[in-house]
Amino acid sequence: MLVYTVFGEAGGPGKTTLTASLAAAHARRGRDVLAIDLDPQDASLSYLLDVDDDRADSDTDHLVRHLIDQPKGPFRELIRETDHGIDVVPAHNALANLDDLLDRRAAMADDMGESFDPTTRLRQVLLEANISDYYDVIICDPAATEGQGVYNAFAATGQLVIPAEATAKGRQSIDGLEQLAAGLEDELGIELGVLAVVPNKVDLRSGTQRRYAEEIEAVEYAVPERIPIRGALFDGAWEHQCSPFRFVEEHRKQQQDREVETLETIKRLAAALEREVDLE
């Protein structure tokens, strides 16, 4: 199966939009897709795919309860089906306190002489629920800042897809992420690979952006596709709380060739990621 985390250290690279776009592209290629939202922000993947109605309900079961080993029911009951062909484990406001909650749970386990690793809880929860029996593709979308949400996503997937803006900041963010990944591999004992770096929101009319895109493409990682800047397309998806594919099909009065070409680029990117793991 194909399992990865979409992550970029720099703000604004289109991380969540790329996650939703790739999830929809995998689904349109006939894959069973699960997206796991680990971002406590209101403007998260759960909002974009319109499954965030319970995020403020303190009585509902949610992902954080499972990560601290206090679930109210089976993990699979957390999964929400969407009409985009994507299943989602929605975010909950409790994710904002995830670091503290996991630290307290680890301290309790230590007092009881039990084993509890805060950084590998998501991996353990997925294994215990046999999630790999049901899905071809699993994508994690954590916050863009370091913390247990990021660590758990990295440990559960072991592979990264890195969106990077074609700017000096975007290029530098790749170097920063390399250092973060190396440090986490040593500190947490996890192995991380990079499936792809994706130059995102590239303005091909700008010589400066083309130059930075070329610099990004010169890194040692695979760079299968560039995604051009398409503000109206992706902003429209957020406005209508849907994937970019659904936005073009149902909310555009007249399809625009450039947007259709961009969606084809995202499909090719999804196919390239699937080939990386020989997904049949």
- Report whether pLDDT(150) > 80: yes
What is the model's pLDDT at position 168? 67
pLDDT band at 10 (very low <50, low <70, confident <90, very high): low
What is the model's pLDDT at position 171? 66
What is the model's pLDDT at position 77? 97
Tens digit of each residue's pLDDT (9 = 90 or more) over 26-65: 999 999 999 999 999 887 899 999 999 999 999 999 999 9
- State the average pLDDT over residues 168-193: 75
- State the average pLDDT over residues 235-242: 94
What is the model's pLDDT at position 238? 94
Two structure tokens written together for 190: 């996890």
Of 173 and 155, the structure prediction assigns the larger pLDDT to 155
Two structure tokens written together for 194: 């990079």
- Report whether pLDDT(195) > 80: yes
Distances (CA, A) of 5 to 61, 116, 131, 205: 24, 23, 16, 30
| Beta-sheet strand order (sheet of 86-89) | 80-81, 86-89, 33-38, 137-142, 2-6, 159-165, 193-202, 227-228
Name, of 40-49, 191-200, 205-214, 268-277, the range with top average pLDDT: 268-277
What is the model's pLDDT at position 181? 74
What is the model's pLDDT at position 9? 67
Two structure tokens written together for 110: 């230590």
Q: Are strands 193-202 and 86-89 parallel, antiparallel or unpaired?
A: unpaired
Q: Which of 141-150, 218-227, 267-276 has the lowest mean pLDDT?
A: 218-227
What is the model's pLDDT at position 11? 58
Of 151 and 176, the structure prediction assigns the larger pLDDT to 151
What is the model's pLDDT at position 13? 59
Comparing C-alpha atoms, which of 207, 199, 248 is closest to residue 226?
A: 199
Two structure tokens written together for 92: 């909950």
Calpha distance 195→207 (Å, rounded): 27
